[in-house]
A and B are shown apart, each in its own frame.
Chain A
């Protein structure tokens, strides 16, 4: 944000050992960060935040030290620091005022507010006051548009009348509010010349067991240890030309689906088994179908049982089908699906789906096609 050459502002007396010594008080958090990710490189952004917390900015040697923790080359760490806008690479002012200039805040008055602040602080955006108390910066959207023009002082949002971070719907930042904060902070600086540090990781929890594969953590959760075996669901049926087609949806891990039939919804016996690996299609759940024939005038029940390796799921709820003789002479029988799985399971009510209308029209279409 400043035109100061980065090389010129590096503290002359700082050494890599000096950085390590200053950072030693953050060791508990660094240990925790290392536990959290399966590769050390992933700690880089967070360790850079810790450097910024300790120094108030990110000196070159801090970047190098962070590179050591994250086990990346210093140039990778430097490139990452450069890429993100929030790492300060020159010694900062005590308070950093960010004003959003993007479209929503523009129409809510950001330019007037920025002009006011530039006059009030006597500096242009992108620079620091002479007493080194305030830096003023234009930034892009802060995701606080409802209170625009959005303003942040350091990491705290100004979106309510009294306290920072105290949000009030429909409240808009006015010049007087920012002025009031600037005066408060000036008084604060007079009373407490020492800068206070703010936890840049926001109070992370320190005693986690870590990512899968970390020394103390259990490995990847295996569904067999905690979740039920996946059953077949959405069981339904349709019929045409004397044939009953039952279908069900199964999980990708299902290795065998057994269809069972019963005359009384009690004693089921297997009528067919299907190996889902024979069904072509994209990865993900699969629809499995099973064809059957039964005598006219009977009510039968079907259910499906999914196997996943050695695990057998609880049977799907059953579906009832009644076959009826049909007036047309060339038809073997009609089907009536008396219940489907969902309605049967959730409210116990029988949902009747008259399946023969579709068949009839299908049949007619077939006939007409035959004539042609």
Chain B
């Protein structure tokens, strides 16, 4: 399967279509672990931590989990070599609706993740690193464990790696089903054996995270790109993509598209070209969710001019997020789509902050009423008003993500909601909020 456009290097997807690319012997034929040589001129071992961190900074790579924070910047501020150990935690709690790229990396190229972790661990002075994998991905956990076994046997992990004096152990930690654990401080709580509820920041994990120690939480895709960066140099990576969004990124595309799957494209590619790479949209494009369900939906007009990078998405009032692209055609009902999303956020709210715990459920129940033909005139404004009240009022951005999903659909597909309200036989009654309010529900 063709996963990249012409002239785009395969930073992350080179092994995706190689038979047994997940095994060390095959991966090594394609250069896995070759950056970890020793002796004069070695690219990692023997160099200073500082130079490696600055190389990552110079590459311009930004966190691929959704927030897009520059990885080198995150690393720069970690207090290395202090009294407390530094932990590296890989966020493999992939659960943003529409995203399945990390799933691919763990399935088809786990050694790129492990090699990247050794590079990151060396640079940050990490003794112990954890890969936090969402509970549903047991097959991928097996893959990682057998890849780790191979890496231990080859001497890339454990004590005194390749005679350099550097020690690193990597452990896989299985989550148990909670979307919110993808938020880095919730993930740290889940790692520590607690409920996965986000923590107040500051302190940021880089200063005090797992086990009250400096902790770097990075996405699978971010770390898996490091071997390529050190093979070809940070300048080569920076030359890909756009000046503000350098590099390539994996995009998972599904929905009304002929060839759904994981693609690797340079950032800044026009969205329409990306659709063509994925076989083209099936039917007439009505809109597209560009970066996972938390990113506000784009109308088809907006898709015409959109490019796949952080800046353009921000300009359009949405975000690149985790790179989960979901185009849908005019036969789809945006009201039902929003219903699945409000249900999703209500279900996945961790229950810690009142505006989110109560508000997401409240909004979902009103959307449910509209879908069930019991909508009242003014419900659209009412849902928007609720969303405005829980946006940015909570510890983590889950409620905000729900508010954005709601805001996008109500604004761009308003007529569909009005059509539901028109058909409702209760449309002229006032909204009897008591039955839908928090509390009125139990």
User: Judging by beta carbons under 8 Å apart, are B48 and A155 in contact?
Assistant: no
* Cα-based distance from A252 to B97 in the complex (angstroms): 40
140-162 of chain A: CB within 8 A of chain B: 140-148, 152, 155-157
At the interface, yes or no: A72 with Cβ under 8 Å from chain B? yes
Q: Which of B159, B194, B261, B336 contacts A170 (CB under 8 A)?
A: B261
Contact residues in A for B139 (Cβ distance below 8 Å): 155-157, 165, 202
* Cα-based distance from A230 to B259 in the complex (angstroms): 48
User: Judging by beta carbons under 8 Å apart, are A211 and B127 in contact?
Assistant: yes
Mark contacts of A210-247 with chain B using CB atoms, 8 A cut-off: 1 yes-contact digit, 0 otherwise: 11110001111111011111110110000000000000
User: Judging by beta carbons under 8 Å apart, are A226 and B171 in contact?
Assistant: no
User: Judging by beta carbons under 8 Å apart, are B51 and A233 in contact?
Assistant: yes
Q: How far in angstroms is the closest Cβ of chain A from B297?
A: 10
Q: Which candidate, B29-37, B173-181, B362-370, B415-423, is the interface stretch facing chain A?
A: B173-181
At the interface, yes or no: B136 with Cβ under 8 Å from chain A? yes
User: Judging by beta carbons under 8 Å apart, are A230 and B49 in contact?
Assistant: yes
What number of A-B contacts does a CB cutoff of 8 Å give?
A: 264
At the interface, yes or no: A195 with Cβ under 8 Å from chain B? no
Known contacts A45-B190, A201-B141; decide if A145 and B97 are in contact (CB<8 Å): yes
Chain A residue nearest to B16 in the complex (CB): A169
Interface of A is mostly: loop
Known contacts A141-B97, A143-B100, A202-B145; decide if A221 and B126 are in contact (CB<8 Å): yes
* Cα-based distance from A210 to B171 in the complex (angstroms): 9
At the interface, yes or no: A42 with Cβ under 8 Å from chain B? yes
User: Judging by beta carbons under 8 Å apart, are B48 and A86 in contact?
Assistant: no
User: Judging by beta carbons under 8 Å apart, are B172 and A233 in contact?
Assistant: no
Residue with the highest number of chain B CB atoms closer than 10 Å, among A46, A140, A144: A140
* Cα-based distance from A282 to B336 in the complex (angstroms): 48
User: Judging by beta carbons under 8 Å apart, are B85 and A220 in contact?
Assistant: yes
Chain A residue nearest to B73 in the complex (CB): A284
1-15 of chain B: CB within 8 A of chain A: 1
User: Judging by beta carbons under 8 Å apart, are B148 and A205 in contact?
Assistant: yes
Q: Which of B102, B193, B256 contacts A42 (CB under 8 A)?
A: B193
Q: How far in angstroms is the closest Cβ of chain B from A320?
A: 22
* Cα-based distance from A211 to B76 in the complex (angstroms): 24
Residue with the highest number of chain A CB atoms closer than 10 Å, among B128, B141, B256, B293: B128
Chain A residue nearest to B135 in the complex (CB): A86
At the interface, yes or no: A249 with Cβ under 8 Å from chain B? yes
Q: Which of A37, A76, A84, A223 contacts B178 (CB under 8 A)?
A: A84
Name the 7 nearest CB pairs between A and B, nearest first. Answer: A202-B141, A230-B50, A84-B176, A44-B193, A251-B50, A86-B177, A155-B138
What residues make up the interface of A, taking CB atoms closer than 8 Å to B? 36-39, 41-46, 48-49, 70, 72, 76, 79-80, 83-87, 98, 101-104, 106-108, 140-148, 152, 155-157, 165, 167, 169-170, 198-205, 208-213, 217-223, 225-231, 233-234, 249-253, 282-285, 313
What residues make up the interface of B, taking CB atoms closer than 8 Å to A? 1, 45-51, 54, 76-77, 79-81, 84-86, 94-100, 102-103, 107, 122, 125-128, 134-139, 141-142, 144-146, 148-149, 152, 158-159, 164-169, 171-179, 190-196, 211, 252-256, 259-262, 289, 293, 324, 326, 328, 332, 336-337, 340-341, 344, 347-348, 350
Inter-chain pairs besides A46-B173, A223-B48, A227-B48, 10 sampled, C-beta below 8 Å? A39-B193, A103-B293, A141-B179, A200-B138, A201-B174, A212-B127, A225-B166, A228-B46, A230-B50, A285-B54
